[in-house]
Amino acid sequence: MKRRPPSADDSIDREIAFHIDELTHRFIEEGVPPGEARRRALLEFGGREQVKQSLREVQTWPFAEHLFFHLQAAIRFIRKAPGFSVAVGLTLAFAIGANSAVFSAIDAIIFRALPFPESDQLLVLSQRNTQGRDTNPFVAPVRLEEWNQLNSTLQAVSGYYTDDLSETSGPLPEKVTEALVAPRFLQVMGVSPALGRGFTTGEEHWGGPNAALISYAFWQRRFNGDPNTVGKKLHVDKYSYTIVGIMPASFQFPSRDVDVWCTSAPDAPFAQRRDATWFTVIGRMKPGVTIQKATADLRAVQSELGKQFPKPDSQFTVDAVALKETVVGSIRDSLWLLYGSVTLLLLIACSNIAALLLARTAQREQEISIRYSLGASRTTIMVQIFSEVFGLALLGSMAGLLVAAVAARGFHRLADTLPRATEITLNWKIVGYSLLVAGLTTILCGLIPAVRGTRRGLASSLAHNSRTQVSVRNRLQWTLVGVQVAFAVALLLGAGLLLRSMQQIARVSPGFDPSHVLTLQVSGSWAETADKDALSARIRRTLDGLRTLPGVEADATSGTLPGASYLYQLEFKVDGKSEPGHPLYADSRYVSGGYFETVGIPILLGDPCRLSSKTLEVIVNRTFADRYLNGSPIGHQLSRAEGDFLPTAIIRGVAADAHEEGINKAPVPTVYTCYSAPGPFPNYLIRTHGDPAVLADAVRRRLHELEPSRSVYAVSTLQDHLDNSLAENRLRTLLLTLFAVSAVSLACIGLYGTLSYLARLRRKEVGVRLALGALRSQIVARFLGQGLRVTGCGCLAGLALGFAFSRVLHGMLYGVTAVDPLTYAGVAALVLTIATLALLFPALRASRVQPAKVLRDQ
Amino acid sequence: MAPLEKADLLQGTLDLLILKVVALGPVHGYGISQRIRQISEEVLQVQQGSLYPALHRLEKKGWLEADWGESDNGRQAKFYRLSAKGRRQLAAEEETWERLSRAVTLILQTAR
């Protein structure tokens, strides 16, 4: 289109003015006096405004051309009704903000690719025992190499495991997390160092030079980001490494904590056993290969290996999972639940605002009919209404972005619970999303009022026939309110069920006493496991040293903390026999002798286990004893169904059941093996007389005396660990409750507003009724009844909605079913009560009409 | 002869008249209305309320091009010109009109 100077409207004005001037000119030439000529010209031209309007409508982009004009009008409208605008703006700010915030989390955690090139090609490969239920996913180094050589669908296979070690080149030993990686690690990840180089082939083989890559964070922390760090030496554990490269800041794999990457050579002499498993295996698929194809390929490779090495390879198969799935899998359901909730909240807000606007357009009927009579088209008026709503939605989404920005910071604090939390940022995508939501909100909020409010017939007939038209509109308005109540009830139902679960969890007695227990770890290396006796002796020495500290009542080590999910299930044999068809599965935990005393699990039968050098002793829990050994297990021999590095053990006693797997999981059959050194860095548990945190310093000092070259880390209390293990649970419940409360508040505002509006419309009617002898209580009951009927219908619909979606909560509940009748009844009662309160005020106000005054006004 | 009302003009005829008048040379809206009036010997009087929407519509269709220029009396006016596309359209519409009027005339003469 041609450029029109300076605006379309102006151009139209000038064109019309020119025409009228020329006409005037002609009349003057015909001899008409100037004033009269002008008048005639105007008359002949006719409805100037109508011509202008139809010319505007001819223009290519009527909406865009007039957006500014409409927005200006919208701003006028917003300023004219500040209370209304602030209410709508705040509602939208909260609803859009919460929605954008949760979306930013979903975008960062679920949608966005992992920060590695072609990250969808990355897989985690694990071996699975097809014959038993042994849940050891780790892979032997030799097998990793075979998978790498024999497969045809992967570019490369690598693996890693981590050690928590001490770095001793500084004045004090510092704990570093070292990732020991198989060859081709950087090739699989597709990342190269930001400075320096990756590992050479020589460094990846046994006997090659010791080389290390360090993380960006470690480089900053330990070397102040010195560019000459490459080439310097690092003393980790007993070894000295040359720093060959610094990884980019974005590279935090396998975890955020990794400071150093070193090589673990699969051709090392100690790595040749096929049952020595330690690698978590990762692989990169060739382009175009699907996970199914890769899995099938690797399974074929493994079954080939099974023929070659029947023991143990014939019992393994391979599982492949996308790397991203292992990172975000657990949190996905929670996030979608929250997203569903905030979307419901947004819908409630929209229908709330739609109802408010409907009432307002009813009040603006006169304004709208004047616009019609001035020649405005229906489109123009609808555009006007939409732009008013859009103005509010835009304000709302801007304020909402602030909410989302604050929330993003909040998410960062949850980095321990929430995977990829630090990747959540407020970026242009989120801004775009919130604008999109604002647009959709505009349509949702504005459509009904725009269509309803601009009915030409309505506008003209209203003056004569207000009663019937009003009742139609009321039905629509009540429907909108009912929808709000239904959504709010559904949300409240979800929140109620989660709250009930939390309550049930709080009621659970964990079976151990988490108070007054300090927990910590001491650095160590998996290499120490080569000499198990020395490792045991070292740990025993440390335990003995700690026990003499004043304030320490008992201490112990354990492979995993009580209350932390572990689920390392093994199959056992009693007295060397196993009944076919009745395998004995049990959770296997390694603890030192003082464990039961330290964490307060009572021994029901027999003795606490002792660390004896002659025979290995185990304690079983009550569930194990009752289920497998008729309650009298003492003296029986217990061994692993398949080869184990531990010899046959004797059952020494029975411990009470404890919620070892987590407070929200029921106790399972458990075998506690008395062995203080299941790994190089077990958890130390120290029962203290007073506040465990107070003793932490003394414990640290004592440990430094005992083990000057090791570092102490992960100092915490058992209670904190338990609390943290429920953090995701608690956060989910908290957020859903917040959304539900907001939803109920909005629904109540909707009820209150609609009834107030309705009561105002029917003031005359009420006045007449009162004058004719109706009781005020009857009026109140009438209005209240109308509101409560809607609430009741909404409640029923909401309960049905909640029931239909109850499966969403599956797996997030504890101690209640997703269709818990108590929760359903409670929610219904609560909503009805609050709704009654919200309705009571307008109903009472309506009944306080002065009949005389109303009738006089008539 | 009494002037015809705008409703008496056949649908689409106004477009044809405008295109034809503009084909004579660049002209502003007022000029178009005057020429139609004069050429038709005052039979056709185009209402401004129809003329301007039609002009803008034709401009949007790309049949007319418009520029601001100086009128005879030295004032700024919006001049319309026929575009190449408009010229083709005019030819097509003229032919359609010829056929239509020949057909109507035939019927009128035969039925006499």
A60 to chain B, any CB pair closer than 8 A? The answer is yes
A844 and A800, same domain (yes or no): yes
Measured between alpha carbons, how far is A526 from A664 in angstroms, rounded to an integer? 32
CA angle, residues B67, B68, B69, in degrees to nearest 5: 110
Is the pLDDT score of A185 beyond 90?
yes
Asked if A25 lies within 8 A of B57 by C-beta distance, the reply is: no
Nearest-CB residue to A18 (from B28, B56, B67): B28
| Number of domains chain A is built from | 4
A485 and A604, same domain (yes or no): no
**Interface mutation vs chain B, best among A11, A22, A40, most B CBs within 10 Å:** A22
Nearest-CB residue to A55 (from B28, B52, B76): B52
Asked whether the beta carbons of A107 and A430 are under 8 A apart, the reply is: yes
Tell me which chain A residue has its CA closest to the CA of residue B71.
A18
A342 and A296, same domain (yes or no): no
CATH number for the domain including B35?
1.10.10.10
Is the pLDDT score of A181 beyond 90?
yes
Asked if B67 lies within 8 A of A46 by C-beta distance, the reply is: no
The whole-number pLDDT of residue A214 equals: 94
Tell me which chain A residue has its CA closest to the CA of residue B79.
A15
A530 and A495, same domain (yes or no): no
A487 and A446, same domain (yes or no): yes
Question: Rounded to the nearest 10 degrees, how much is the dihedral formed by the CA atoms of B102, B103, B105, B111?
Answer: 150
Q: Nearest 5°: phi and psi at A565?
A: -60, 135
Measured between alpha carbons, how far is A678 from A531 in angstroms, rounded to an integer? 12
Q: Say if A125 falls within a structural domain.
A: no
DSSP 8-state class, residue A523: -
Asked if B52 lies within 8 A of A60 by C-beta distance, the reply is: no
The whole-number pLDDT of residue A466 equals: 44
Tell me which chain A residue has its CA closest to the CA of residue B47.
A45
A639 and A736, same domain (yes or no): no
Among candidate residues A446, A344, A428, A434, the one with its CA nearest the CA of residue A390: A446
| 3-state SS, residue A284 | strand
Asked if A51 lies within 8 A of B76 by C-beta distance, the reply is: no
CA angle, residues A826, A831, A832, in degrees to nearest 5: 100
A480 and A533, same domain (yes or no): no
Quickly state the pLDDT bin for B11 (edges 50, 70, 90).
low
Residues B1-28, buried b or exposed e (16+ Cβ, 10 A)?
eeeeeeeebeeeebbbbbbbbbeeeebb
The whole-number pLDDT of residue A156 equals: 94
Asked if B30 lies within 8 A of A23 by C-beta distance, the reply is: yes
The residue-averaged pLDDT of A399-410 equals: 86
Token digits of residue A734: 């908290």
Quickly state the pLDDT bin for A463 (edges 50, 70, 90).
very low
The whole-number pLDDT of residue A582 equals: 72
The whole-number pLDDT of residue A2 equals: 40
User: How many angstroms separate the most distant Cα atoms in chain A?
Assistant: 134
DSSP per residue, A681-744: SPEEEEEESS-HHHHHHHHHHHHHHH-TTS-EEEEEEHHHHHHHHTHHHHHHHHHHHHHHHHHH
Q: Say if A199 falls within a structural domain.
A: yes
Asked whether the beta carbons of A837 and A744 are under 8 A apart, the reply is: no
| 3-state SS, residue A407 | helix
Measured between alpha carbons, how far is B32 from B20 in angstroms, rounded to an integer? 10
The whole-number pLDDT of residue A374 equals: 67
DSSP 8-state class, residue A526: G
Quickly state the pLDDT bin for B7 (edges 50, 70, 90).
very low
Which residues from B are below 8 Å from A54, CB to CB? 49, 52-53
Nearest-CB residue to A51 (from B49, B57, B65): B49
Overall pTM surpassing 0.80 (yes/no): no
Asked whether the beta carbons of A571 and A584 are under 8 A apart, the reply is: yes
Asked whether the beta carbons of A8 and A52 are under 8 A apart, the reply is: no
Asked whether the beta carbons of A146 and A318 are under 8 A apart, the reply is: no
Q: Say if A73 falls within a structural domain.
A: no
Is the pLDDT score of A551 beyond 70?
yes
Quickly state the pLDDT bin for A644 (edges 50, 70, 90).
low
Q: Say if A83 falls within a structural domain.
A: no
A305 and A373, same domain (yes or no): no
Measured between alpha carbons, how far is A343 from A540 in angstroms, rounded to an integer? 56
Q: Say if B51 falls within a structural domain.
A: yes
Asked if A58 lies within 8 A of B71 by C-beta distance, the reply is: no
Asked if A58 lies within 8 A of B60 by C-beta distance, the reply is: yes
Question: Rounded to the nearest 10 degrees, how much is the dihedral formed by the CA atoms of A513, A519, A524, A528?
Answer: -20
Shortest distance, CA B92 to any CA of chain A (angstroms): 24
Q: Say if A806 falls within a structural domain.
A: yes
Measured between alpha carbons, how far is B107 from A546 in angstroms, rounded to an integer? 121
The CA-atom distances, in angstroms, between A805 and each of A48, A496, A798 are 59, 14, 10
The residue-averaged pLDDT of A496-521 equals: 88
| Number of domains chain B is built from | 1
Spatial neighbors of A694 by CB under 8 A, at least 6 apart, are A688
Q: Nearest 5°: phi and psi at A549?
A: -65, 135
The CA-atom distances, in angstroms, between A569 and each of A627, A668, A671 are 16, 10, 10
Asked whether the beta carbons of A514 and A656 are under 8 A apart, the reply is: no
Nearest-CB residue to A15 (from B65, B73, B78): B78
Asked if A1 lies within 8 A of B66 by C-beta distance, the reply is: no
Measured between alpha carbons, how far is A519 from A719 in angstroms, rounded to an integer? 10
Quickly state the pLDDT bin for A292 (edges 50, 70, 90).
very high
Which residues from B are below 8 Å from A51, CB to CB? 48-49, 52-53
Digit-coded pLDDT (tens) for A748-771: 888 888 888 888 878 888 888 888
Q: Say if B66 falls within a structural domain.
A: yes
Q: Say if A658 falls within a structural domain.
A: yes
Last residue of a domain, one of A43, A60, A77: A60
Is the pLDDT score of A52 beyond 80?
no
Quickly state the pLDDT bin for A609 (edges 50, 70, 90).
confident
Shortest distance, CA B48 to any CA of chain A (angstroms): 6
Among candidate residues A562, A550, A557, the one with its CA nearest the CA of residue A587: A562
Q: Say if B1 falls within a structural domain.
A: no
Token digits of residue A767: 């006045």
Residue A444 has, within 13 A of its CA and on its CB side, a CA count of 19
Q: Say if A47 falls within a structural domain.
A: yes
A604 and A498, same domain (yes or no): no
Is the pLDDT score of A4 beyond 60?
no
Query: By residue range, what is the domain housing residue A835?
Result: 332-506+727-857
Neighbouring C-beta atoms of residue A522, cutoff 10 Å: 24
Which residues from A are below 8 Å from B53, CB to CB? 51, 54-55, 58
ipTM of the modeled complex: 0.80
DSSP per residue, A795-848: HHHHHHHHHHTGGGGTTS-SSS-TT-HHHHHHHHHHHHHHHHHHHHHHHHHHHT
Shortest distance, CA A457 to any CA of chain B (angstroms): 25
Q: Say if A620 falls within a structural domain.
A: yes
What residues are paired with A195 via a beta bridge? A246
| 3-state SS, residue A122 | strand
Asked whether the beta carbons of A382 and A454 are under 8 A apart, the reply is: yes
Measured between alpha carbons, how far is A413 from A367 in angstroms, rounded to an integer? 52
Measured between alpha carbons, how far is A406 from A743 in angstroms, rounded to an integer? 21
Neighbouring C-beta atoms of residue A829, cutoff 10 Å: 11
CA dihedral over A289, A291, A293, A294, signed as positive or negative = positive
Asked if A19 lies within 8 A of B73 by C-beta distance, the reply is: no
The whole-number pLDDT of residue A259 equals: 92
Going along A150-308, which residue ranges are E strands? 154-167, 174-181, 195-196, 211-214, 233-236, 239-246, 258-263, 280-285
Mean pLDDT of chain A: 84
Cis peptide before A209 (omega within 30 of 0): no
Tell me which chain A residue has its CA closest to the CA of residue B29.
A19
For tokens 């309650």, what's the residue?
A631
Which residues from B are below 8 Å from A47, CB to CB? 49
Quickly state the pLDDT bin for B3 (edges 50, 70, 90).
low
Q: Say if B65 falls within a structural domain.
A: yes
Binding-face residues of A in 63-82 toward B, CB within 8 A: none
| 3-state SS, residue A456 | helix
Measured between alpha carbons, how far is A277 from A353 in angstroms, rounded to an integer? 61
Helix axes A692-706, A532-547, angle to 10 degrees: 130
| 3-state SS, residue A247 | coil
DSSP 8-state class, residue A521: E
Among candidate residues A858, A836, A838, the one with its CA nearest the CA of residue A763: A858
Spatial neighbors of A109 by CB under 8 A, at least 6 apart, are A328, A331, A332, A335, A418, A419, A420, A421, A423, A424
Shortest distance, CA A25 to any CA of chain B (angstroms): 11
Neighbouring C-beta atoms of residue A269, cutoff 10 Å: 8
Q: Which amino acid is at A413?
A: R
Is the pLDDT score of B6 beyond 50?
no
Measured between alpha carbons, how far is A364 from A362 in angstroms, rounded to an integer? 5
The whole-number pLDDT of residue A570 equals: 75
Last residue of a domain, one of A288, A314, A340: A314
H/E element, A617: strand A616-621
Last residue of a domain, one of A676, A709, A742: A709
Digit-coded pLDDT (tens) for A824-842: 999 999 999 999 999 998 8
Shortest distance, CA B40 to any CA of chain A (angstroms): 18
Digit-coded pLDDT (tens) for A109-168: 888 888 889 999 999 998 888 876 556 778 889 999 999 999 999 999 999 988 888 887
Per-residue H/E/C for A61-93 = CHHHHCHHHHHHHHHHHHHHCHHHHHHHHHHHH
A705 and A758, same domain (yes or no): no
Which residues from B are below 8 Å from A46, CB to CB? 47-49
Token digits of residue A606: 């027999």
Which residues from B are below 8 Å from A8, CB to CB? none
The whole-number pLDDT of residue A361 equals: 76
The whole-number pLDDT of residue B1 equals: 47
Shortest distance, CA B36 to any CA of chain A (angstroms): 15
Is the pLDDT score of A464 beyond 50?
no
Q: Say if B72 falls within a structural domain.
A: yes
Binding-face residues of B in 64-83 toward A, CB within 8 A: 65-68, 71, 73, 75-78
B56 to chain A, any CB pair closer than 8 A? The answer is yes
Digit-coded pLDDT (tens) for A324-369: 888 887 788 888 888 999 999 999 999 888 888 887 777 777 777 7
Which residues from B are below 8 Å from A28, CB to CB? none
B52 to chain A, any CB pair closer than 8 A? The answer is yes
Digit-coded pLDDT (tens) for A192-248: 999 999 999 999 988 889 999 999 999 998 888 898 999 999 888 778 899 999 999
Asked whether the beta carbons of A789 and A843 are under 8 A apart, the reply is: no
Shortest distance, CA B77 to any CA of chain A (angstroms): 7
A296 and A213, same domain (yes or no): yes
Query: By residue range, what is the domain housing residue B101?
Result: 6-110
Is the pLDDT score of A284 beyond 80?
yes
The whole-number pLDDT of residue A459 equals: 43
Asked if B49 lies within 8 A of A47 by C-beta distance, the reply is: yes
Asked whether the beta carbons of A154 and A294 are under 8 A apart, the reply is: yes
